[in-house]
């Protein structure tokens, strides 16, 4: 079998089950691919080659076991904000430079129990704050389609690794777009599940009312396989939902006849690149040709999503990041008193963007400003959520662009935080509403990938995956590979 690194998870599953391939062969092929491409891509912060080989051997040894799940023997990689017992977890930050978690996140436990092989930990913006992965304290990840461009962020390593064939699937996290925007910019598929669908126990928190863990892979069908393993109630996460988990693969019927697809005019924002709009509208036309009913809708509060998000997310971040004091986690800067040590550790070891968010959050939460900013933002958030409730009375899913632009140049937006924040205008509302969002590749503009975003009702990931898969049966954008 040639080019094992181009296999989809579905394809690898078939080959493994038929005995045409061993997990160790597949793992070795991906480790070789990582070695070949990583000097240019720089997606990994930690590579756990030996542990991966061991897990692959164990998967091969238990091949006859009838209980093995969809990811048994499949090599994956993990964004470095998710705790992995015994494996360094940095959040892309110097403040956790040497942090080795004593326990694994629930999602890691589920993957391991399901026999998945973990190749390592992936680069991201520091504490998942950013849209380009340039805010990592360690390295800049290149976009596999054009190494002078960003892979998007904050899960840029997770998207670049899939696009360059370094892992068959990865985990990312999405607080305001961090799975979907990099998936779009790297030409891969990515899913932000409903808030509460996947346990966040062991995820190092950024914005706790917004954060969700989700998969990235080449196809919607592959995402369905990963979600199947991740989804479900976890008593260790108080926000995890008890909603039943459907059979996601069984939902992939290829049939979207009668599916009502809403297209919100507000998402075709001013300044959107014409090539992005064109590719998005062409993708919606494909769904219509397959029998979906396309309906123009309005989500009038969309324009408030960006300011609302940039009040709420930093407020939550400022509270969540208070625990990093150099006393309990990570390295400590020397100082004369405990307070000096804390100040120096936080001052030197948090990057500029993280410090900016902590200051913004502390400000909007402070007495006298709380009502004007934080409370107000929460009220507007309710209106944004209501927009979606009203829309979903008329339509089954919503189709929209993911990012107003294709991948931008490394360095292009690093001096302008507001320009960087604007990258997320089409993805933030989905987190504020807590609903699920899927991205599938839908074409190219100026040689760079564009992603179609599909938005669903709470806990209806199945309809999104069905529509995304139906689209991929009709198109071949998801099969295009960058030259590396």
Q: Which residues bind ligand GLN (CB under 6 A)?
A: 128-131, 154, 174-178, 206, 313, 424
Q: Which of 23, 131, 132, 154 is catalytic?
A: 154
Phi–psi pair at 46, nearest 5 degrees: -140, 135
Burial label for 370, CB within 10 Å (0-12, 13-18, 19+), is middle
Residue 199: active-site member: no
Taking the complex as a whole, how short is the minimal distance between the CB of residue 211 and ligand GLN, in angstroms? 7
Taking the complex as a whole, how short is the minimal distance between the CB of residue 177 and ligand GLN, in angstroms? 5
Taking the complex as a whole, how short is the minimal distance between the CB of residue 203 and ligand GLN, in angstroms? 11
Task: Report the distance separating Cα 281 and Cα 37, nearest Å.
Answer: 34
Taking the complex as a whole, how short is the minimal distance between the CB of residue 39 and ligand GLN, in angstroms? 27
Tokens matching residue 281: 């509208």
Q: Which of 155, 178, 199, 403 is catalytic?
A: 178
366-to-104, 318, 361 alpha-carbon distances in Å: 34, 11, 9
Task: Report the distance separating Cα 166 and Cα 444, nearest Å.
Answer: 22
Question: Measured from the CB atom, is 130 or 193 closer to ligand GLN?
Answer: 130
Question: Measured from the CB atom, is 87 or 128 closer to ligand GLN?
Answer: 128
Taking the complex as a whole, how short is the minimal distance between the CB of residue 157 and ligand GLN, in angstroms? 13
Question: Measured from the CB atom, is 313 or 455 closer to ligand GLN?
Answer: 313
Question: Measured from the CB atom, is 174 or 325 closer to ligand GLN?
Answer: 174
Taking the complex as a whole, how short is the minimal distance between the CB of residue 422 and ligand GLN, in angstroms? 10
Q: Which of 79, 121, 192, 413 is catalytic?
A: 79
Task: Report the distance separating Cα 435 and Cα 459, nearest Å.
Answer: 8
Residue 375: active-site member: no
456-to-193, 253, 389, 391, 400 alpha-carbon distances in Å: 9, 17, 10, 10, 11
Question: Measured from the CB atom, is 206 or 471 closer to ligand GLN?
Answer: 206
Phi–psi pair at 106, nearest 5 degrees: -55, -40
Residue 192: active-site member: no
Task: Report the distance separating Cα 357 and Cα 314, nearest Å.
Answer: 5
3-state SS class at 147 = coil
In this structure, the number of other CB atoms found within 10 A of the CB of residue 258 comes to 9
In DSSP terms, 294 is beta-bridged to 261
Whether the CB-CB separation of 60 and 73 falls below 8 Å is answered with: yes
Whether the CB-CB separation of 151 and 186 falls below 8 Å is answered with: yes
Taking the complex as a whole, how short is the minimal distance between the CB of residue 310 and ligand GLN, in angstroms? 8
DSSP labels, 419-436: HHHHTTTTTHHHHHHT--
378-to-29, 311, 374, 456, 464 alpha-carbon distances in Å: 48, 9, 6, 22, 27
Question: Measured from the CB atom, is 30 or 312 closer to ligand GLN?
Answer: 312
Question: Measured from the CB atom, is 27 or 90 closer to ligand GLN?
Answer: 90
Whether the CB-CB separation of 366 and 233 falls below 8 Å is answered with: no
Catalytic residues: 79, 154, 178
């Amino acid at each position: 079998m040639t080019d094992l690194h181009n296999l989809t998870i579905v394809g690898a599953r078939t080959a493994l089950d038929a005995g045409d391939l061993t997990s160790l062969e597949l793992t070795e092929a991906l480790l070789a691919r990582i070695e070949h491409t990583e000097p240019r891509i720089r997606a990994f912060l930690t590579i756990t080659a030996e542990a991966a080989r061991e897990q692959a051997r164990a998967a091969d040894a238990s091949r006859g076991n009838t209980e093995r799940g969809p990811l048994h023997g499949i090599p994956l990689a993990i964004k470095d904000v998710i705790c992995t017992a015994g494996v360094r977890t940095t959040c892309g930050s110097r403040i956790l430079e040497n942090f080795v978690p004593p326990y694994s996140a629930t999602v890691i436990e589920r993957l391991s129990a399901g026999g998945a092989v973990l190749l390592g930990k992936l680069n991201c913006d520091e504490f998942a704050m950013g849209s380009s992965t340039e805010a990592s304290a360690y390295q800049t990840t290149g976009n596999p389609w054009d190494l002078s461009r960003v892979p998007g962020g904050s899960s840029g390593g997770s998207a670049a690794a899939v696009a360059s064939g370094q892992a068959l699937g990865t985990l990312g996290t999405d607080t305001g777009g961090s799975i979907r925007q990099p998936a779009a910019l790297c030409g891969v598929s990515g899913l932000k599940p409903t808030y509460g669908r996947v346990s966040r126990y062991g995820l190092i928190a950024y914005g706790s009312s917004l954060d969700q863990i989700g998969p990235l892979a080449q196809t919607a069908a592959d995402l369905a396989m990963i979600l199947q393993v991740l989804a479900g109630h976890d008593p260790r996460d108080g926000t995890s939902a008890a909603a039943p988990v459907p059979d996601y693969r069984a939902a992939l019927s290829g049939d979207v006849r009668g599916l009502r697809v809403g297209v919100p005019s507000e998402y075709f924002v001013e300044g959107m690149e014409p090539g992005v709009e064109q590719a998005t509208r062409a993708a919606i036309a494909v769904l219509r040709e397959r029998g979906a009913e396309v309906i123009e809708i309005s989500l009038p509060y969309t324009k408030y999503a960006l300011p609302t998000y940039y009040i709420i997310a930093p407020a939550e971040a400022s509270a969540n990041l208070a625990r990093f004091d150099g006393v309990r986690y990570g390295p400590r800067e020397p100082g004369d008193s405990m307070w000096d040590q804390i100040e120096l550790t936080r001052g030197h070891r948090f990057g500029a963007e993280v410090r900016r968010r902590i200051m913004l959050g502390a400000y909007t939460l402070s007495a006298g400003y709380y009502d004007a900013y934080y409370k107000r933002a929460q009220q507007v958030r309710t209106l944004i959520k209501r927009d979606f409730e009203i829309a979903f009375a008329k339509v089954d899913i919503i189709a929209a662009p993911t990012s107003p632009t294709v991948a931008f140049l490394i360095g292009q937006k690093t001096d302008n935080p507001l320009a960087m924040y604007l990258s997320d205008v089409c993805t933030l509302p989905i987190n504020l509403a807590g609903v699920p969002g899927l991205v599938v590749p839908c074409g190219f503009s100026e040689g760079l990938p564009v992603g179609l975003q599909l938005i669903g009702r709470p806990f209806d990931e199945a309809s999104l995956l069905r529509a995304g898969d139906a689209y991929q049966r009709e198109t071949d954008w998801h099969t295009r590979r960058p030259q590396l």
